[in-house]
Structure 1
Amino acid sequence: MTTYQRYVRTIAEGSAIERLVFFSDAVFAIAMTLLVVELHVPTVAAEDLASALAELGPEYLSFVLSFAVIGAVWMSHHRKFRVIVRYSQALLRLNLFMLLAVASVPFSTAVLGRYGDVQLSVYIYAASICLIGFLLSAMWIYAWHSHLIDPDVPVDVFRYVLVQSFPIPGIFLLSIPIAALAGATAAEITWAAALPISFTITRVYRARV
């Protein structure tokens, strides 16, 4: 056995998955908390407060949207890492890239809140959500084929979890050409359907299997 093989066996790979999970949870929590930093109390006269708050409506909506999306991604990440029992360097890298995208969401949310009627803001936001979702799915696929998942997990459960992972990033990916063809508002309307469509697809798949 070479030095590198011993390194991989003793250090680079293993079953102490807790630190990865704790670190990931911290990044999710910080990203969700930072979303509210962009919501500022307007400095106006008391009689103008209602109209000033109304003007911040797009920023409130982008905050709620991002909180819901990051929350859904965290729940998906949590479910997957209940049965991912080993790690490898490749899995760590995929997780870090996914967390990089998660950490960028407060920025893309701020851009969307201020420039929601501009197509570029839609491209930036949708791309960040797509990247998170597809990297999370890539981790799940990699973990399965690399035998990092609990062997008691059957293949039909693996497929079911995979089906759960695709609708939300898929809808955000679809919104990019919609924004290009029909404008930013049309793309943003499709986002409102992301969670209901995800639940529907999951339920239909569950009924069929």
Structure 2
Amino acid sequence: MEKETVRIENFSDAVFAIAITLLVLDLRAPEINMVKNGAELLVFLKSEWTTYLAFTLSFFSIFIMWVNHHKIFKQIYSRNTAIMFSNGLILFLVTAVSYPTALLARFFNSEASSIAVAIYTGIFVLINISYNLLWFIASHNKKLLRPGITDSAIKKITNNYLYGFPTYLIAFGISFQFPAVALTICMLLLIYWALSSGKINMNKNED
């Protein structure tokens, strides 16, 4: 069976690359008149720790989203309008990550941290929903999937994405009171997605 999703995947790869590149724009060097010596430069760099945190967290989040996107499309062989639009929703949200990242970088160490973290965790709630939507559409029509994929493999992939939704939702809920804890949950979920991405690289002959 010939794979019909190559153009979707190529376009998606380009969007992921642009989204991850946009994150760099919020990294800034000090103006030359702001720094007179090495000590002042170190003080400036230390004051930018929230920017480095936000950049690192978002960079690896988008990278792992790209990995999982690739894994999903190893299972999807055919396309329809719903597949294309649900994938478009993922790409829309991925390109939007740079904005809450900028808010997190600027306000995490301030009195507005709860709102900044809520917006940041909220975007990942929506991204998780969009991934679940893409897989829901694909998995409910086996003609769209690769030949030979088993029901147990489909169920494993479904569960893998469903587990993340309530956790992201909890992180979003507690971000209004405990923003640091909410961000820690996002970091742990990042590790979870990194480790679990292999679970959706199913063997054709799996029962």
Q: By the TM > 0.5 criterion, same fold?
A: yes
Q: 2:167 aligns with which of 171, 178, 190?
A: 171
User: Which structure exhibits the higher relative contact order, with contacts defined as CA atoms closer than 8 Å and separated by 6 or more residues?
Assistant: 2
Contact 1:122 1:188 (8 Å CA) reproduced: yes
Identity of aligned residues (%): 28
Per-residue deviation, 1:145: 0.7
CA RMSD of aligned residues (A): 2.4
- Take 2:198 and 2:9, find their aligned partners in 1: how far apart are those partners? 28
Query: 1 CA distance for matches of 2:128 and 2:105?
Result: 21
Q: Equivalent residue for 2:25?
A: 37
2:147 partner letter = P
Note closer, same or farther for the CA distance 1:113–1:169 as it changes in structure 2 (3 Å cut). Answer: farther
TM-score (norm 1): 0.82
**Which moved further from structure 2: 32-41 or 44-53?**
44-53
Judging by fraction of residues, say which structure has more helix: 1
Q: Structure 1, residues 135-184: CA drift from partner, whole Å, max 9, x if none?
A: 1121112101123111311111112222332444443221121122x332
Matches within 5 A, 1:1-209: 16-43=4-31, 44-46=35-37, 47-116=39-108, 117=110, 118-147=113-142, 148-180=144-176, 182-198=177-193
Paired positions, count: 191
The one-letter amino acid paired with 1:49 is L
Instruction: List gaps (5 residues or longer) in structure 1.
Output: 1-13
TM-score, normalised by the number of residues in structure 2: 0.83
Contact persistence 1:163–1:202 (CA under 8 A) = no
Letter in 1 for 2:42: A
Counterparts of 2:169 and 2:67, CA distance in 1: 21
Q: Distance in 1 between matches of 2:197 and 2:96?
A: 28
